[in-house]
Amino acid sequence: MDKINNDSDKPKRRVRYKGSHPRQFKEKYKEHDFEKYPEDIKKVIASGKTPAGTHRPICVNEILDILMPSPGQIGMDATLGFGGHALELLKKIIPNGRLFALDVDPLELVRTEKRLRAMGFSDKELTIKRRNFAGMFKLLDVEVPGFDFILADLGISSMQLDNPERGFTFKREGPLDLRLNPQRGQSAAKLIRSLDEKQMEKLFLENSDEPRSRVIAKAVYKNRDEINKTTDLANVIAYALAGKSYLGCSVATTSSIRRVFQALRIEVNDEFSALEQFLRNLPFCLKSKGRVAILSFHSGEDNRVMKYFQQGLKDGLYAEISREPLRPNSDELYSNPRSKSALLRWAIKK
């Protein structure tokens, strides 16, 4: 009897890519499965890059020095992300310590929790909740009257930036979305269609200090119905400022494109309002002598953190605050270029 050839029984081969190295996000199978290919991941990191689908925590040593986590303490990572900071904090507070962790991104939160649970951290040591950090105050109860330390990393994670389907960067074509939680609110493409030219100009100026906001707003408004992808928006801005495609544009034009993306991301996620609510509640979530560290990545965030820390010091809520922001050291800037805009501020509860 002839053997039946059943193709469905054959193991599926990995889709091959052209050339010697994968270029597309989905093709970087070694980086996505970084635990299986540790040597390859080391090479990617050594080259000053962040492996696809991962995130490298910034200012880890500086944050540990500020927060001084110790065994038995109760802490809060208000922006869990990839979990790099959380992992280092957990190492310091166990045994008998507990870390709460929040994140609003439903896609990355599932992956991060799965990875941290696989490392042996149960809900007893690590309590993870899908929630915006603006609602952190609601976690306080009889069981948790306050936190010994709180960390907030306000930056966008590398795995969000690198995945073109999330629409966070113009460097890769994808839907113009920019939502941290794609299940809520409207995308950046829809936001553009809802604004008039003056509203756009104000948004680009106030959210990202874009000096050419008027010219950009005029071009975006004129072409708003044709802007659906990240590259659509990048090209509209580039042609308005430089008369050519965004590919190969000057640093100045590229910076303007990046600032417009930042302004739209802040708006669709209501980031400034969430940050201000978090900062208002912050001192009341800390125990006496509790410590907080906040990483910000642009002036709009850093100015707000500075303002609330200074007011808290004046009102007697904080005993001490950082006078100037700390920055990544030269070694970190070299090994992780994405850290270059990081600003780290801290405060100690009275």
Give residue-wise pLDDT tens across range 153-210.
998 876 677 777 887 888 889 999 999 888 888 999 999 999 999 999 999 999 999 9
State the chain's mean pLDDT as an integer. Answer: 87
- pLDDT score of 141: 85
> How far is 227 from 190, CA to CA, in rounded Å?
9
Quickly state the pLDDT bin for 22 (edges 50, 70, 90).
low
Which residues neighbour 265 within 8 Å (Cβ) at sequence distance 6 or greater?
156, 168, 178, 188, 271
Of all residues in the chain, the percent with pLDDT exceeding 90 is 66
Instruction: Give me the residue spans of the domains in the chain.
Output: 60-158+272-349, 182-268
Quickly state the pLDDT bin for 31 (edges 50, 70, 90).
very low
In angstroms, how far is CA 133 from the centroid of its own chain?
Answer: 13
- pLDDT score of 255: 94
Please state which CATH number belongs to domain 182-268: 1.10.150
Evaluate if residue 224 carries a pLDDT over 60. Answer: yes
Write the pLDDT tens digit of every residue in 277-303.
999 999 999 999 999 999 999 999 999
What does the block give as tokens for 159? 């795995």
Note whether 247 and 231 are within 8 A (CB). no
- pLDDT score of 171: 82
- pLDDT score of 29: 44
**DSSP-derived 3-state class of residue 157:** coil
Evaluate if residue 339 carries a pLDDT over 90. Answer: no
Note whether 131 and 278 are within 8 A (CB). no
- pLDDT score of 162: 72
Q: How far is CA 291 from CA 36, 85, 274, 285, in A?
A: 37, 15, 20, 10
Please state which CATH number belongs to domain 60-158+272-349: 3.40.50.150
Evaluate if residue 306 carries a pLDDT over 50. Answer: yes
Evaluate if residue 240 carries a pLDDT over 90. Answer: yes
> How far is 213 from 205, CA to CA, in rounded Å?
6
- pLDDT score of 28: 46
> How far is 4 from 274, CA to CA, in rounded Å?
61
More confidently predicted of 21 and 227: 227
Evaluate if residue 233 carries a pLDDT over 50. Answer: yes
> How far is 330 from 190, CA to CA, in rounded Å?
41
Arithmetic mean of pLDDT, 301-323: 97
Backbone angles phi, psi at 253, to 5 degrees: -70, -45
More confidently predicted of 255 and 9: 255
Arithmetic mean of pLDDT, 14-27: 53
**Considering only CA atoms, which of 294, 343, 286, 340 is closest in space to residue 318?**
286
The pTM of the whole model exceeds 0.75: yes
